[in-house]
Amino acid sequence: MIRCKPLLGTYVEISIDDISHEDPITAIEKSFAAIEQVQSLMGFHNPNSELSRINARAHLEVIEIHNWTYAVLSIAKDIYQASNGAFDCGVGAQLLKAGLLPSHCSNKSAEYGGLGDVVLMAPNKIRSIKPLQLDLGGIAKGFAVDKAVEALQSGGVRSGAVNAGGDLRVFGSSSQLITVRSPKNPEQLVNVGTLENGSIATSSLYYANPHLSPIINPTDMNHIQFGESYSVLAPECVYADALTKVLTISQDINHPCFTKFSAQALRIAA
């Protein structure tokens, strides 16, 4: 059974192959609901999201946040530290300046901080040393895929897959042939193997503005341009999603981050 919905700025496809006890439609709807909750909590485009509240208030006061948001920020900080800053969600202000994100926050500052300025305080509290314009678009989609898989499994689904616009996780006895678009010709698909019980995410600029990349190098805040396609395989999609940015920015398929987080990097040349 396969169902698809527009979520997370893309189309999310959920497929199940084997279910033990719950009605399959109910299991899929619970899975979509988990994705919708991640979107509601961490969407930059939503002025009422928890992320928008963090950006507006965390430099002024301690804020209590949902445990899912806390988990994403905790993982993001781990990857930020392991990558020596190559992964940093504190690029929202630059994306706003470029017109790639909407402006709805009254938080105006000459200098915004990043993940290094975020202080996570148990249980589920956050504050920031500097004003923030965090954008979790480079990690929250993968987290949403993982939460969708968890919802399926709790509903008795033993085998299936969740695909959010190329952020894919396969679990159980299912396996999927993995293809990515060719950087030379986006209409052509390149076979990169079969995925079982794992995740893959890809970063590329197939259809992006060639003069204004949506991927920012946080070390100098420049929009980076590249012709290759970069993919990362990892046990969980949150890591595959985030680590594609480390790969794209470093262009190092042997970056220590991949070993640390049990991931594997793949580059398809232009």
* 268: confidence class by pLDDT, cuts 50, 70, 90: confident
pLDDT digits (tens, 9 = 90+) for 4-15: 999 999 999 999
* Range with the poorest average pLDDT among 25-34, 35-44, 56-65, 175-184: 175-184
**SS3 state at 165:** coil
pLDDT digits (tens, 9 = 90+) for 211-252: 788 899 999 999 998 888 999 999 999 999 999 999 999 999
Question: Does residue 18 register a pLDDT over 90?
Answer: no
Gap between the Cα atoms of 236 and 101, Å rounded: 27
Inter-residue contact 142 to 42 (CB < 8 Å):
no
pLDDT digits (tens, 9 = 90+) for 125-161: 999 999 999 999 999 999 999 999 999 999 889 999 9
pLDDT at res. 269: 79
pLDDT at res. 12: 97
Question: Does residue 23 register a pLDDT over 90?
Answer: no
pLDDT digits (tens, 9 = 90+) for 93-121: 999 999 999 887 767 777 899 999 999 99
E strands present in 77-235 = 118-121, 125-128, 157-164, 167-181, 189-203, 216-217, 222-223, 229-234
Average confidence (pLDDT) over 59-68: 97
Gap between the Cα atoms of 227 and 204, Å rounded: 8
pLDDT at res. 181: 86
Question: Does residue 25 register a pLDDT over 80?
Answer: yes
* 21: confidence class by pLDDT, cuts 50, 70, 90: low
Q: Would you state the structure tokens that stand for residue 232, as one six-digit string?
A: 């990362």
Q: Residue 106's closest CA among 114, 96, 98?
A: 96
Task: Tell me what the pLDDT averaged over the chain comes to.
Answer: 92
Gap between the Cα atoms of 135 and 114, Å rounded: 10
pLDDT at res. 270: 65
Chain centre distance of CA 124: 20
**SS3 state at 47:** coil
CA distances to 15, 83, 93, 130, 183 from 221, in Å: 38, 16, 10, 17, 24
pLDDT at res. 187: 84
pLDDT digits (tens, 9 = 90+) for 186-217: 888 889 899 999 999 999 887 777 678 889 99
